[in-house]
Structure 1
Amino acid sequence: MRGGASTSLALAISACLAGSLVVTFSSVGGAGASTPAGGNAQSLGTLDASSWISRLTPRYIVQFKTTKGLNSTVTDETRMGTDIIDVWDNAIDGFVAPLSPTAVQRLRNDPDVASVQPDATIATTVNQLSPPWGLDRIDQRTLPYNGGYSYWTSGTGVTAYVVDSGILSTHDEFTGVTGRIPRGAYVDFGDDTQYDDCNGHGTHVAGTLGGTTYGVAKDVTIVPVKVIDCDGTSTVAAVITGLEWVIADHDINGGPAVVNLSLGGSTSSTLDAAVAAVIADGMTVVVAAGNDDTDACTVSPARVAGAITVAASTVTDTAASFTNHGSCVDIFAPGVNIQSASISSDSGTATLSGTSMAAPHVAGVVARMLEASPTATPDEIWTAMDTAATTGVLTVPTGDPNKLVYRTPPILPPIPQLASVPGAPRAVAVRAGTGTVTITWIAPSSTGGSPVLSYSTSCSATGEATVTDLDATSPSVVTGLTFGKPYSCTVSATNALGAGPPSGLRTVTPFTTVTEPELVSVTPSKRKATATWLPPVSDGGAPIRGYVVSCTDGLITKTRNAVATSTTAIVSGLTNGTEYSCTVTAKNLAGPGASSDPGLVTPRTVPSSPLSVVATPTSSGASIAFDTPASDGGSDITGYTAVCRSTAVGAITPLSASGASSPIAVSGMSPLKRYSCKVLATNGAGDSRLSSGKTVTPTI
């Protein structure tokens, strides 16, 4: 990072320090005063003492068509208690006075009045010639570059906490104004550097934020808070410790302040909470989006909602190849090949790239805004910055804000005019339910100057009645919708002046449970039942996610799950000979639907072999007696078959006879020949195995 080399910088907060972390904070004096470098003058002009962002009673210039109309109205307004500050009848016929919205409307309706315009603050401007390209870019709306950086505020009276790797306090960029670095703090990494920068990152960042040549806010008070070690790494604990000190220091010293965090790492709820606490203390926090070309919402503290998250742009107004992106990015700023102070020497420079370089451009603009409006809140600062941003000039990925930071206009934003209806609610999201839609949102970025009193939701579908809730709160559940039909839903906010514009349409299709499948058959087998079905007539507006086949004997239920494409399933673990009632149920996102009509089934198998076989010879035959099998297989035995085969070599064809019970007579045998006789039983599932054989020799 030395010697002006161009480097893409990525910081990771990682647990890289061995042993216990020793934290020491020290208040250290800054460098002495000298003449500002670069010939850049301090802010000029007169600024109203009250904030142009948060003024409560704005002043208006009322111009009249004639002097007569002026005189008459001045008399009437004075009688009504209007505090007229000045009256003119040479340059124009008019007066200036603080006016309520009602008074403004009354005067605008007066036929003698030519116009009623808000007063505004005007300041003189200083122009820095041949600045770094980042400064050149943020003071103009479009390319090409004009070779200058114009400013009329410079951060005077504002504190910028640079939570980073420290600072080279003797660098020419910081020694031009008395008290530029009045104090600082550091995490003791055991190298005795205090807040001296042994890495270079913090010095570069501070130079872009508030350096006399390379800085956006050239007179801001810089307070370094060293939380990054010489190797460019840190820990979440170290950063939280630094932020703890920032809050304590701000509580002691007070005044407007901005905090720059050009660092980041994996998501950390504790780090996010610490950053949120800094914002809650009244300080605007600017954070780098990160350099991994990924979603900034996966990075802390880039994902903190109240911080201003900055992505990096190039000299040609494109998103930097490395910059993180997505909905957590708030704004872009120059971040590629940025020249600023380095630690190589007291006059050294380095050219670095990264969202670390983009963030201090925005923090510098915040410091300038706070000089003009020292009581502005972080929300008010962001609203003004967002409103002033240059839009539509960047080439950025879909989903990224096409907004480039812009220094506050030469004529500061006008005093707030009459209240208006609120803006559209933001971050509207919809989620389908069973005949319902759940809508969530956050408040509009602008209330129109009057508190939001209520929200209304509206969901409509072709051929269906529009469903509206005039007093909704987020999350709002819209009921009574027709499943399977796509609905377009919006949310609008209402204040005392009426309803604001609706949010963008969000399309969602409500669903319900599926109808019942048609059970075609249930086929029994040994301890099993095979169910076959047809799919439901309606899927309820959501894809079928699977089936459940259930078989119950009234006491015990066995089930089998089947995938959405199945139309058959086997339920196992049943008891043979017990009757079961089986059904099929389909399920979708709404859950299980109605079950099919039941089908009855009795699992079964073949009986066991008959027992105690006895073969008694008869004339040319045998009488085969036996006992019933030990198991009928769960189905009544329908008959028996006796089979006798000659034991002679070459005998093939057996003789058999059937009967309903014992004994069974087998005839046709050859007298005085030896036979082996066996018996099998038959039920609804089929034939059993043959019993053990018994030999017999028929008589003559």
Structure 2
Amino acid sequence: MKRTRAVVAMTATAALAVMALATPASAGLMSSGSSLAPVQPWLASQLGTLKSATPTTVLVHGTDTAAATRAVQAAGLRRVTTFEKIGVVVATGLPTQVQAVRSQPGVTYVEGNQPIEMLLSTSNKATRGDEARNTLTGADGTALDGKGVSVAVIDSGVDPTHPFLKNPDGTSAVVKNLKMVCEPVTESTCAPVDAGSADTDLVSGGGHGMHVNGIVAGRDVTLSDGTKMHGAAPGASLVSISTGAVLFIIGADAALNWVLENHNAPCGAGVAVSKCPPIKVTSNSYGPTGGGAFDPNSATVKLQRALVKEGVVTVWANGNDGGDGSKDLSNPPAKDPTPGIISVASYFDQNTGTRDGTVSTFSSRGKAGDQSTYPDISAPGESITSSCRIYLPICSSGLDPKDGGDYNTISGTSMATPHISGIVAQLFQANPNATPAQVEAAIESTAYKYTNGAPYEAGTNGTTSFDKGHGLVDVVAAANAIR
């Protein structure tokens, strides 16, 4: 990817990057001495307005999967799907049945199917990504470009045949292309379908996923005007999981659950690792607007913590709600303090590749003085050129189409996030035995301290700030630190 002159104004659909989860269980309907399991506040508000005959979809959390399943059956709910590894059953039923399941033995939390939104090239000079690729090698002895690592991109979809994702031998960087096929109205059930080489990005939010995939792992291309560009990790493999427009939380959670169950062999047990490497990082550029409290009881948080335990880093866009530090506007699941879960703010290199640029005005800020709400790291997210066909809705918002409209320029923390996702792939190539916690520590402790915005203050893994986290990612320094 390469940065171009045009700066595209942020829009709510094209450049948001948070996936808001609900507020903590302590804010739910639990009263002192009650035997009812806590309910997510968002769901509580819905139950108060739904008509008695209107069904709704919920995630029933249990002490284990068997307990959640028994509770769903006992309450008369219809089971839709199960997230086996975190003990959650997705079910549908009437409001009275949802209330009834809270009293069943073994139920620990009841969560709603909350709506979320998509959150909308960078210069690899600012991140020192080009320098790392040209001067450093991975543990395999090859150039540090993400080779041997798959990145799971959970987004609107991808066209595996796009020239930006084409390998020199004609194959695609996309080694697995899944489409989550969901019940169309409420996404109460979602199942993965192998889409092969089909374009899965032809949806209402189309173009967002195509742009993000290119930022992660776009191959070397030369455009007709002579511009040379590539993604953050041009040797990494891509596993695209299309959730369409990502309108409800269950579709996105189902994608994370698929990664949890398949990250070691995403193309199947019989496919060689050389052709389809294990997934070591997920890239998530979606969520609700306006921030929100961190919810440790949500399925999303349980899934990403389970992924960390199995060696997979989760990267989140921190959101596009701006702010001044007076309140917390950060993406809720991005605020997970678990090492190996990384939130990303947007940095603007002024279209020059400088490392002394600015925090993007749209980038969501945490609340000053509360480091649990701060983003972790900054990466280029403003005025980013990547694969984005002009006829797709998100891509049509770009103001600098190139090569017949196959590439365009968009801004958002959605664009900063895949930079970090690709860089994580480079770090795992540098040290395949690194843990997610070590990867995050390497990124944060070596960050370049650009000075625009809020002052830095002492924190974990070095100094941090409420608007830009630990500073601008430095790929060369991080790679040297993790070896």
Q: TM-score range by the shorter chain?
A: 0.5 to 0.7
- The question of whether the paired residues in 2 share the 8 Å contact of 1:393 and 1:402 is answered with no
> Displacement, 1:298?
5.2
- The question of whether the paired residues in 2 share the 8 Å contact of 1:160 and 1:222 is answered with yes
Tell me whether 1:163 sits opposite 2:154 in the alignment. yes
Which string of whole-angstrom CA distances, capped at 9 and with x for unpartnered residues, describes residues 459-487 of structure 1?
Answer: xxxxxxxxxxxxxxxxxxxxxxxxxxxxx
Q: Look up the SS of the partner of 1:207 in the other structure.
A: helix
Tell me whether 1:342 sits opposite 2:388 in the alignment. yes
Q: Look up the SS of the partner of 2:123 in the other structure.
A: helix
The partner residue of 1:226 within 222, 242, 251 is 242
Aligned-partner Cα distance in 1 for 2:243–2:215: 19
> Displacement, 1:305?
1.8
CA separation of 1:147/1:350 partners in 2, compared to 1, >3 Å: closer, same or farther?
Answer: farther
Aligned-partner Cα distance in 1 for 2:180–2:439: 30
- The question of whether the paired residues in 2 share the 8 Å contact of 1:157 and 1:256 is answered with no
% identical equivalent positions: 26
- The question of whether the paired residues in 1 share the 8 Å contact of 2:178 and 2:240 is answered with yes
- The question of whether the paired residues in 1 share the 8 Å contact of 2:122 and 2:381 is answered with no
Count of aligned residue pairs for this structure pair: 296
Q: Look up the SS of the partner of 1:287 in the other structure.
A: strand
Q: Look up the SS of the partner of 2:335 in the other structure.
A: coil
Which string of whole-angstrom CA distances, capped at 9 and with x for unpartnered residues, describes residues 559-599 of structure 1?
Answer: xxxxxxxxxxxxxxxxxxxxxxxxxxxxxxxxxxxxxxxxx
The partner residue of 2:334 within 302, 310, 314 is 302
CA separation of 1:375/1:389 partners in 2, compared to 1, >3 Å: closer, same or farther?
Answer: same
CA separation of 1:371/1:234 partners in 2, compared to 1, >3 Å: closer, same or farther?
Answer: same
The partner residue of 1:375 within 429, 433, 437 is 433
> Displacement, 1:411?
8.1
Tell me whether 1:259 sits opposite 2:291 in the alignment. no
> Displacement, 1:263?
1.3
The partner residue of 2:123 within 128, 131, 134 is 134
Report 1:607-646 matches (<5 A): none
The partner residue of 1:173 within 157, 164, 168 is 164
CA separation of 1:405/1:19 partners in 2, compared to 1, >3 Å: closer, same or farther?
Answer: farther
CA separation of 1:184/1:207 partners in 2, compared to 1, >3 Å: closer, same or farther?
Answer: same
Q: Look up the SS of the partner of 1:187 in the other structure.
A: strand
CA separation of 1:396/1:320 partners in 2, compared to 1, >3 Å: closer, same or farther?
Answer: farther
TM-score by length of 1: 0.38
CA separation of 1:364/1:234 partners in 2, compared to 1, >3 Å: closer, same or farther?
Answer: same
Aligned-partner Cα distance in 2 for 1:298–1:414: 28
> Displacement, 1:147?
11
Instruction: Say which structure is richer in strand.
Output: 1
Instruction: Say which structure is richer in helix.
Output: 2
Aligned-partner Cα distance in 1 for 2:361–2:482: 38
Tell me whether 1:217 sits opposite 2:230 in the alignment. no
> Displacement, 1:285?
1.1
- The question of whether the paired residues in 1 share the 8 Å contact of 2:378 and 2:471 is answered with yes
Which string of whole-angstrom CA distances, capped at 9 and with x for unpartnered residues, describes residues 156-203 of structure 1?
Answer: 110100011111111111122535212132221578987611211111
CA separation of 1:137/1:347 partners in 2, compared to 1, >3 Å: closer, same or farther?
Answer: same
Letter in 2 for 1:134: S
- The question of whether the paired residues in 2 share the 8 Å contact of 1:185 and 1:195 is answered with no
Report 1:277-676 matches (<5 A): 277-294=306-323, 299-306=331-338, 307-316=341-350, 317-326=357-366, 327=371, 328=373, 329-344=375-390, 348-396=406-454, 399-400=466-467, 401-409=469-477, 412-413=480-481
Aligned-partner Cα distance in 2 for 1:247–1:384: 24
CA separation of 1:347/1:157 partners in 2, compared to 1, >3 Å: closer, same or farther?
Answer: farther
Letter in 1 for 2:8: S
TM-score by length of 2: 0.54
Report 1:69-80 matches (<5 A): none
CA separation of 1:13/1:382 partners in 2, compared to 1, >3 Å: closer, same or farther?
Answer: closer
> Paired residue for 2:16?
10
Instruction: Report the structure number with the largest CA radius of gyration.
Output: 1
- The question of whether the paired residues in 1 share the 8 Å contact of 2:434 and 2:482 is answered with no
The partner residue of 1:197 within 193, 197, 201 is 201
Letter in 2 for 1:222: L
Which string of whole-angstrom CA distances, capped at 9 and with x for unpartnered residues, describes residues 359-381 of structure 1?
Answer: 11111111111112112110011
Letter in 2 for 1:382: E
Output the aligned Cα RMSD: 3.6
CA separation of 1:20/1:207 partners in 2, compared to 1, >3 Å: closer, same or farther?
Answer: farther
Letter in 2 for 1:186: K
Letter in 2 for 1:215: G
CA separation of 1:413/1:393 partners in 2, compared to 1, >3 Å: closer, same or farther?
Answer: same
Q: Which blocks of at least 5 consecutive residues in structure 1 are unaligned?
A: 24-131, 141-145, 416-700
> Paired residue for 2:118?
none
